[in-house]
Structures are given as C-alpha cells and as structure tokens.
Amino acid sequence: MKVTVVLSLAYLACISAAKTEQEQMERITRILKPTSADQNMRDALFDRINKAEKVCKEGKCKDLQAKLVAGEQIDGFAKLLQEYDECMAECRQKENRSFDLLKEIEKKPDYWKNLQEIKREMSLKDALVYWTEIASEFKILEEEEQKYDSAMEKLKLTKEETERKENLDAEIRKQDQTCKTTKCAGQRQAILAAVKPEDQVSAAENFFECMKECKKSMNDKVRELDKLLEREDYVANMEEVRSEVSVLEALQYFDEIKADLELA
C-alpha cells in the first residue's frame, strides 16, 4: 500500500513538473516567437524614434545644426560636428529603450529558430536551459511581458469572482422571470391582447415600467454583474490587442481602462 502511495505521489510530481515546463515554454513562446504583431511594434518604434529625432533637430540641437548647414565655422567644423553629435546623442537618450527594444525584435527570428531546433532534436528541458542563456538578449521584451501578465492577473476574474458572476446572473434571471409571471403578468398579457398599434405601444410601456419597478431591488446586483462582465470583455480585448497589434499597445490599452475599473 505504501509503495503504491509513493509511486502515485512520484507520478503526480512528474506530471506537475511537466506542466510547469510546458507553461514556461508557452510564456517563452509569447516573448520569442516572431509574429505579425512584430511589424506593428517595429512601425510604432520607428515612428517614436523618428519623432524624437525631429524634436532634437528642431529643438535642443537646432542652432548647432544651422551652423553646420551654413558652414559658418569652416576652421572649427570638426569641433562643431562633435558638439552636434554629442547634443543629439544626449537628446536621444530618452528613446534608448525604443532603440534597444527594436534590436531585440530584430533578433527574435534567429533565436527562435535555435530554440525550436534544440527542443526538436534534444528536449524541452534543454530548450528551457537555452532560454536561460539567451534571456538577457530579450530583457525589455521579457519586462513588457511581465507587465502584461501582471495587468491580466488584475483583470481576470478569480475563481470566487467567477462563481459570484454566475450566482448574480442566476438571481437576476430568476427575478426577471418572477416579475414576468407574477407582478407584471397582467401587463404582459395586455401586450398580447392589444390589437391597435397605439394600444400595443401603451401596453408595452406599462409592462416596461412594471418590470423596471419590480426589478428595482436587483439594481445593485445588476451593476455588480455588469462590472464583472466588463472585466471579461477587457480581458478578451487585451488578448486581441496583444496578438494582433503588440504588447506595447496592449499595455497602453490597460492604462486607459484601469482607472474606470478602479485597478491600481
């Protein structure tokens, strides 16, 4: 009996480890696998970098650029050029992360190919080891993915919230049906009995007002349910933006909605 229990525990431990390894690979895949969204991210980064470049040239480094173009200081051209380059380099610093992220995106295809070959020809465990060796090459992408995971954790309903949503939905539906078949049954029947259009409209209005009054006690629960359903919609939207556009846009979307959802 003891042997059976030990073997069962060992089997469960193996299953758990395999699941954990697979979950790790799924996360790595989200970070490293090239997708159509990469081009969207490239375009957004290039646009951001180009705008910053324009601001530097037309703002902080404008006078130096004008002197270079005018050629006013021929003798000191090299020094002037150095000053201009230093000015631009300092001005560009705020977009260093964009430059670095762009480099990471460009490296994805080769590293992804290597990862797949190791997984196919060696093992999943070896592929995970390979990722630990190259993860520093994708530091920003991993950070963005961590932010995305954190945002999704806040958005997704917990087990308790899911149960609450289902219970609220059942309560509201039950109250709706009770109102239709008891307090507002007469008004509902009047709609079916009405022949003239104006009588049908009047009967429908009476029925609507009756139902509104009858279900008033459920208003707070309806609002609570709407909030939970809204979060489910936002989760679906986040996943779609992450997949179709980029993780950066998904995080920007989260920043736009979290205030409405009272999320920190």
* The pLDDT value given to residue 260: 77
Judged against a pLDDT cut of 50, whether residue 121 lies above it is answered with yes
Tell me what the pLDDT averaged over the chain comes to: 87
Judged against a pLDDT cut of 70, whether residue 119 lies above it is answered with yes
Q: How many CA atoms lie within 13 A of 75 on its CB side?
A: 0
Range name among 8-12, 48-52, 63-67, 73-77 with the lowest pLDDT average = 8-12
* The pLDDT value given to residue 3: 43
Query: CA 234 to CA 60: how far, in whole Å?
Result: 41
* Distance from the first to the final alpha carbon of the chain: 51
Give the helix/strand (H/E) hosting 135: none
Q: Are 206 and 184 in contact (CB under 8 A)?
A: no
* The pLDDT value given to residue 9: 42
Query: CA 120 to CA 240: how far, in whole Å?
Result: 29
Chain centroid to Cα 114, Å, comes to: 28
Percent of the chain whose predicted confidence (pLDDT) is above 90: 59
| pTM flag (> 0.85) | no
Mean pLDDT of the region 40-55: 89
* The pLDDT value given to residue 81: 85
Judged against a pLDDT cut of 50, whether residue 133 lies above it is answered with yes
Mean pLDDT of the region 55-69: 83
Q: Are 214 and 179 in contact (CB under 8 A)?
A: yes
Chain centroid to Cα 188, Å, comes to: 45
Q: Are 261 and 234 in contact (CB under 8 A)?
A: yes
Query: CA 228 to CA 235: how far, in whole Å?
Result: 11
Judged against a pLDDT cut of 80, whether residue 173 lies above it is answered with yes
Question: Which phi-psi region, left, alpha or beta, contains residue 11 (left: φ > 0; alpha: ψ -120 to 50)?
Answer: alpha
Q: How many CA atoms lie within 13 A of 149 on its CB side?
A: 12
> Which tens digits make up the pLDDT trace of 90-118?
888 888 999 999 999 999 999 999 999 99
* The pLDDT value given to residue 73: 58
What is the C-alpha R_g of the chain?
Answer: 30
* The pLDDT value given to residue 74: 60
Three-state DSSP at 261 gives coil
Q: Are 28 and 115 in contact (CB under 8 A)?
A: yes
* The pLDDT value given to residue 19: 57
Which residue matches tokens 């003239």?
A: 196
> Which tens digits make up the pLDDT trace of 196-219?
888 889 989 999 999 999 999 999
**All residues at 6 or more sequence positions from 38 whose CB lies less than 8 Å from its CB, including other chains:** 105, 108, 246
What amino acid occupies position 210?
A: C
Three-state helix/strand/coil letters over 121-164? HCCHHHHHHHHHHHHHHHHHHHHHHHHHHHHHHHHCCCHHHHHH
